[in-house]
């Protein structure tokens, strides 16, 4: 069990010495806790989420020999024998770190259900509220010494399935800190992408002594009230305040400020919300955050919408999206590698499903869960391979079909986690990290 | 009242021994049923809530906001015996309750408008329509019938958002028969058909054919192919064939007819009726086994944070009601009152179950399905902001008589966005870190807790001749709708008289108000 404050401790702290005491007192409590904790160094995970369902044929499984492939050409990569789409020239150069899974095969072709499935590893059914992958993995991978929340989500597009982005039965302590990119700068020509957690600074009108006094007053109120009126929303309230105060008091929030990064490196990531979001992900991972999700939804790199949902003008649309994806993705892999972080950081690239191999009347591709691609890199993943394959027309998985459950199990294994470890669900049933019967795919792991 | 009695007699003759007329009689029967259930489950219920606790909860549940300082004072000082039911009547007559019911029903009927930005523009027109119907006291069955059978103004284009109509119910479902079938079943009947769209429901009795039988009632809609797919809310050139009574199950050769969920075939002998009219007649029929139960279950959840069937819109064999007799009784009352929502509200609020305290005195009260104490629950974003506004004396530039005015940059709109929650159950509502930060450090609360900028605080700080004790009491009444306990009076009184950390009594007032506004007690319903 790794969590900041477990249920039993919580009872102790509903006295909320935690919340109320001055910053130093509060931090020392945490520090004392951290001291007793396991010092095992956990791996980290970055999820690059392609909202809308990216076309496999214009990314990692081109079919230029077949009419279904359309005009998309393939190019060589740094690994002999593996070719990917011409839309991803920089990514091709880091292929030796990537394991492309070309045999994803699921049955969910609806945005909402598929988004939920890929984010939780479970189909939406019955009363069980499954946690999103960032929640259950960050719980396992928690670094107690990190003052930031263990799960950060950058520019998420949650409209397809809000529940796919929440902590489910794990509860509010495992909710993501959601950050949105902003454009800031002196004038319209000099706009920069920046990330800021709003309201982190206390008001100028309030002195530090006053702020401490306020927290003490609040603590006394919380103590009296929650003792008599126990319940989930009260616990959540206190936990969020604790995490918020911890962030306010910590220097770790400097991770959100990209200004200290090398200008050239910022350029290589791409000066757009997704590119800078990938850079932010690296900085957060360095600071001790366990799981970062970065969403790419449209061609300007921002989070809104579902740009990969290319029912029309697929080739042009995917081309522009890849123009954003390619430098960011390749730079992230290279940057992590150069800093010695790639060995312990898993980078997952995926969306909710693939696109129909057959091109429709609007030069588009529709939803296709039957044979599509995802990509793993870093941590325990054996790079430089294409796992599974599809038929020449792209309509069938030819060998080694991959289920979502096995993908999830493989992700767990790559992070040195036992995929059969369980959490107790809201209906009192133990739920394994990846569904019953799933197995990690050994050949994907080194 | 005569009307109610008449209805009651009809039902009594048909199905039930129980068809009380006066709300307090039904309430007493509900309390008796709970008493039996508690004894069986060995549950010790909580004490009855004191007046302040009762009033605050009643305002939140019925009016969507906490009471004003003067409203709490008047209520606490009122010595009449029937003041609780009097408060219910007062609120049922108020614009606040019309607005709260409007918001609640809108959230239930077009939830897509919260989660999907492209549908947001549909909210004002839909709310205006609901507002009008609810404020006129239209019975619930008529409202639902009007929604299902409404003549669509789909060619209104961009002007649609300012058209008072229930069209949004159709538009957020993109006029697709399958979406409308599952939406109708879920919103009005509490039946989740969604899974049966693609296959026979794995955990329930619904078959794929039954799903499409429902969809067939909506099969007349068709849209031109070149429609703007990015903006389904703005549908142009939609047409409806009013004699379509069958539907082709996509991807199959199967054509199935319009059949009600109960297996009953519509009687088409009166062919002046459109399929939607036939569907609406059946949905709101007093014999429909789901309609009234679903409606009272949702009302129950509005007052308890949890349905007798929970989730409220999931009536199925695998999810039985916790107190089936109570549900049946309320449904019968609802039918016999002529689908009068206010009648059910009077019954629910008159029960001892509703008037229990949230203070837990026995471990058996922890299980929410026992309803043995008032559960601690989150506020909806609307309840939250309207309560903050009430507490801090913020004048909302919102005209309740003209809900078309929506300023997305208003503090209300920004707070609603920030406090929008993914969790369906108020008992599981979560506070996010960003919400905590906005409450602790954000401009709005900063201004509201500054003596220079806050209406409430300045009034208290500068009111001539007010003692520290009175100032403290007013702050507690404003935020927590109760007077401070002796202990709090002492603790906070000392802070105030010493000037607190800033050694300044105005700053100390501000500190105390800040703490009250950030407390669980203020930010939750209990």
DSSP secondary structure, B102-123, as one string: HHHHHHHH-THHHH-GGGGGGH
Q: Å from B73 to nearest chain A CA?
A: 22
pLDDT at residue number B342 = 96
Helix %, strand %, coil % for chain A, to 5? 40, 15, 45
**Would the CB atoms of A247 and B492 count as touching at under 8 Å?**
no
Q: Which of residues 429-458 of B touch A (CB under 8 A)?
A: 429-438, 440-442, 446, 450
Q: CA-CA distance, A314 to A54, in Å (whole number)?
A: 10
Q: Does B518 touch chain A (CB under 8 A)?
A: yes
Cα–Cα distance for residue pair A397/A372, rounded to 1 Å: 8
Q: Is it the case that residue B162 has pLDDT exceeding 80? A: no
- Judging contacts by C-beta atoms under 8 Å, the chain B residues touching residue A178 are 432, 434
Reported as a pLDDT band with limits 50, 70 and 90, residue B447 is very high
Residue in B433, B436, B500 nearest the CB of A213: B500
Q: Counting beta carbons within 10 angstroms of the beta carbon of residue B188, is it exposed (0 to 12), middle (13 to 18) or buried (19 or more)?
A: buried
> pLDDT at position B405, please?
53
Which residues on A lie below 8 Å from B502 (Cβ)? 207, 209-210
Smallest Cα distance from B21 to chain A, Å:
35
List the one residue out of B373, B318, B211, B188 whose CA is nearest residue A128: B318
What CA dihedral angle connects A237, A240, A242 and A243, to 10 degrees?
Answer: 180
Tell me the average pLDDT across B376-383: 94
Record: contact B116-A236, CB cut-off 8 A: no
Task: Please name the residue that has the structure tokens 């700068």.
Answer: A185
Rounded Cα distance between B222 and B241, Å, is: 8
The dihedrals phi and psi of B408, each to the nearest 5 degrees, come to -65, -15
- The B residues from 58 to 117 touching A (CB cutoff 8 Å) are 115-117
Shortest CA distance to A144 belongs to which of A14, A246, A221, A278?
A: A246
Q: Has this prediction a pTM greater than 0.80?
A: yes
The answer to whether the beta carbons of residues A341 and A282 sit under 8 Å apart is: yes
Task: Write out the CATH class of domain B378-525.
Answer: mainly alpha
- What's the pLDDT band for B33 if we cut at 50, 70, 90? very high
Please state whether the peptide bond connecting residue B472 to the residue before it is cis, i.e. omega within 30 degrees of 0.
no
> For B62-71, B351-360, B393-402, which range has the lowest pLDDT when averaged over its residues?
B393-402
**pLDDT tens, residue by residue, B217-247:** 999 987 665 445 555 555 666 778 888 889 9
- Look at the domain A41-296+316-444 and name its fold: Alkaline Phosphatase, subunit A (3.40.720)
Q: Which helix (H) or strand (E) holds A408?
A: helix A404-414
Q: Look over chain B and give the mean of its residue pLDDT values, rounded to a whole number.
A: 87
Give the rounded distance of the alpha carbon of B467 from its chain centre.
Answer: 40
pLDDT digits (tens, 9 = 90+) for B251-268: 788 899 999 998 889 999
Domain with CATH 1.10.3130 in chain B: 378-525
Per-residue model confidence (pLDDT) at position B398: 56
Over pLDDT 70: what percentage of chain B?
Answer: 86
Q: Which of B414, B430, B438, B481 to mutate to test the interface with A (most CBs of A within 10 A)?
A: B430
Q: Which residues of B touch A312 (CB under 8 A)?
A: 229
pLDDT at site B278: 96
The ipTM (two decimal places) reads 0.89
Ranked by mean pLDDT, the top range of B115-124, B396-405, B425-434, B500-509 is B500-509
pLDDT tens across B268-326, in order?
988 889 999 999 999 999 999 999 999 999 999 999 999 999 989 989 888 899 999 99
Chain B contact set for A238 (CB, 8 A) = 520
| 10-residue averages of pLDDT along chain A (446 residues) | 37 40 40 48 96 97 96 97 98 98 95 94 85 97 93 90 88 87 76 87 92 95 94 90 92 92 96 96 97 92 81 95 97 98 98 96 94 97 97 97 98 97 88 96 96
Q: What is the mean pLDDT of residues B193-210?
A: 69
Closest to A20 (Cα-Cα) out of A306, A236, A245, A218: A218
- Do residues A227 and A31 touch, judged by C-beta distance below 8 A? no
- Residue count of chain A: 446
The mean-pLDDT minimum among A330-344, B156-170, B207-221 falls in B156-170
The rounded distance, in Å, linking the Cα atoms of B193 and B178 is 10
- In the three-class reduction of DSSP (H, G, I as helix; E, B as strand; rest coil), residue B344 is classed as helix
């Amino acid at each position: 069990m790794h969590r900041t404050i477990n249920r039993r401790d919580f009872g102790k702290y509903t006295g909320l010495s935690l919340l109320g005491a001055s910053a130093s007192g509060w931090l020392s409590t945490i520090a004392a806790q951290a001291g007793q904790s396991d010092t095992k160094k956990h791996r980290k995970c970055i999820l690059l989420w392609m909202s809308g369902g990216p076309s496999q044929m214009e990314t990692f499984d081109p079919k230029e020999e077949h009419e279904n492939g359309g005009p998309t050409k393939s190019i060589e990569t740094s690994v002999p024998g593996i070719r990917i789409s011409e839309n991803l020239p920089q990514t091709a150069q880091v292929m030796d770190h990537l394991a492309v899974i070309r045999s994803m095969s699921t049955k969910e072709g609806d945005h909402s259900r598929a988004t939920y499935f890929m984010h939780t590893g479970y189909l939406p059914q019955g009363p069980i509220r499954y946690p999103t992958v960032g929640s259950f993995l960050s719980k396992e991978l928690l670094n107690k010494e990190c003052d930031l929340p263990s799960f950060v989500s950058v520019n998420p597009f949650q409209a397809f399935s809000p529940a796919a982005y929440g902590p489910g039965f794990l509860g509010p302590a495992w909710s993501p800190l959601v950050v949105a990119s902003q454009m800031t700068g002196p004038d319209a020509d000099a706009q920069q992408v920046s990330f800021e957690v709003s309201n982190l600074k206390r008001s100028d009108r309030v002195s530090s002594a006053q702020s401490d006094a306020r927290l003490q007053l609040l603590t006394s109120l919380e103590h009296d009230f929650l003792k008599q009126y126990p319940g989930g929303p009260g616990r959540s309230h206190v936990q969020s305040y604790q995490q918020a105060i911890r962030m306010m008091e910590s220097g770790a929030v400097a991770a959100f400020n990209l200004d200290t990064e090398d200008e050239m490196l910022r350029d290589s990531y791409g000066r757009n919300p997704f590119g800078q979001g990938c850079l932010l992900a690296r900085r957060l991972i360095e600071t001790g955050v366990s799981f970062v999700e970065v969403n790419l939804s449209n061609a300007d790199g921002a989070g809104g919408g579902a740009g990969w949902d290319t029912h029309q003008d697929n080739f042009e649309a995917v081309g522009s999206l890849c123009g954003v994806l390619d430098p960011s993705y390749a730079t992230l892999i290279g940057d992590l590698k150069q800093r010695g972080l790639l060995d312990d950081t898993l980078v997952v690239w995926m969306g909710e499903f693939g696109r129909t191999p057959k091109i429709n009347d609007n030069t588009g591709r529709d939803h296709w869960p039957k044979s599509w691609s995802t990509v793993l890199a870093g941590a325990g993943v054996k790079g430089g391979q294409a796992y599974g394959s599809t038929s020449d027309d792209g309509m069938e998985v030819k060998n080694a079909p991959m289920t979502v459950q096995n993908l999830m199990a493989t992700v767990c294994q790559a992070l040195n986690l036992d995929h059969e470890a369980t959490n107790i669900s809201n209906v009192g049933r133990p739920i394994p990290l990846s569904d019953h019967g799933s197995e990690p795919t050994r050949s994907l792991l080194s | 009242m005569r009307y109610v009695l008449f209805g009651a007699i009809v039902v009594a003759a048909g199905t039930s021994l129980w068809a009380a007329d006066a709300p307090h009689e039904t309430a007493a029967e509900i309390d008796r049923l709970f008493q039996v259930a508690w004894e069986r489950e060995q549950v010790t219920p909580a004490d009855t809530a004191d007046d302040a606790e009762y009033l605050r909860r009643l305002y939140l549940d019925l009016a969507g906001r906490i009471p004003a300082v003067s409203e709490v004072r008047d209520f606490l000082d009122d010595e009449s015996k029937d003041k609780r039911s009097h408060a219910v009547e007062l609120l049922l007559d108020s614009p606040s309750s019309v607005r709260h019911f409007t918001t609640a029903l809108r959230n239930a009927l077009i939830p897509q408008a919260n989660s999907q930005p492209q549908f947001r523009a549909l909210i004002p027109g839909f709310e205006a329509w609901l507002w009008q119907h609810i404020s006129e006291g239209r019975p619930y069955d008529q409202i639902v019938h009007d929604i299902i059978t409404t003549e669509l103004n789909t060619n209104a284009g961009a002007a649609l958002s300012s058209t008072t109509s229930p069209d949004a119910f159709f538009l957020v479902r993109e006029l697709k028969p399958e979406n409308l079938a599952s939406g109708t079943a879920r919103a009005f009947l509490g039946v989740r058909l969604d899974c049966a769209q693609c296959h026979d429901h794995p955990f329930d009795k619904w078959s794929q054919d039954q799903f499409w039988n429902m969809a067939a009632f909506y099969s007349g809609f068709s849209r031109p192919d070149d429609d703007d797919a990015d903006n389904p809310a703005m549908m142009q050139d939609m047409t409806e064939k009013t004699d379509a009574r069958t539907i082709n199950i996509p991807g199959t050769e199967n054509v199935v007819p319009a059949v009600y969920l109960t297996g009953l075939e519509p009687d088409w002998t009166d062919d002046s009726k459109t399929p939607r009219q036939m569907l609406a007649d059946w949905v709101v029929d007093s014999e429909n086994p789901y309609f009234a139960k679903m409606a009272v279950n949702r009302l129950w959840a509005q007052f308890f944070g949890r349905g007798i069937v929970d989730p409220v819109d999931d009536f199925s064999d695998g999810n039985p009601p916790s107190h089936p007799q109570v549900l049946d009784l309320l449904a019968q009352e609802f039918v016999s009152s002529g689908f009068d929502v206010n009648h059910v509200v009077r019954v629910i609020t008159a029960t001892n179950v509703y008037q229990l305290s949230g203070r837990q005195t026995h471990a058996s009260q922890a299980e929410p399905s026992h309803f043995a104490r008032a559960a601690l629950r989150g506020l909806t974003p609307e309840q939250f902001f309207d309560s903050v506004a009430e507490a801090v004396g913020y004048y909302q530039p919102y005209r309740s008589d003209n809900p078309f005015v929506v300023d997305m940059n208003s503090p209300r709109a920004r707070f609603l966005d920030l406090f929008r929650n993914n969790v369906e159950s108020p008992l599981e509502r979560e506070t996010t870190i960003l919400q905590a930060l906005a409450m602790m450090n954000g401009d709005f609360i900063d201004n509201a807790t500054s003596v220079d900028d806050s209406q409430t605080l300045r009034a208290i700080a500068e009111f001539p001749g007010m003692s520290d004790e009175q100032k403290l009491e007013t702050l507690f009444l404003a935020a927590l709708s109760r007077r401070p306990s002796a202990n709090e009076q002492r603790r906070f009184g000392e802070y105030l008289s010493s000037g607190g950390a800033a050694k300044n009594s105005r700053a100390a007032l501000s500190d105390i108000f800040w703490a009250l506004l950030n407390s669980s007690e203020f930010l939750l319903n209990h």
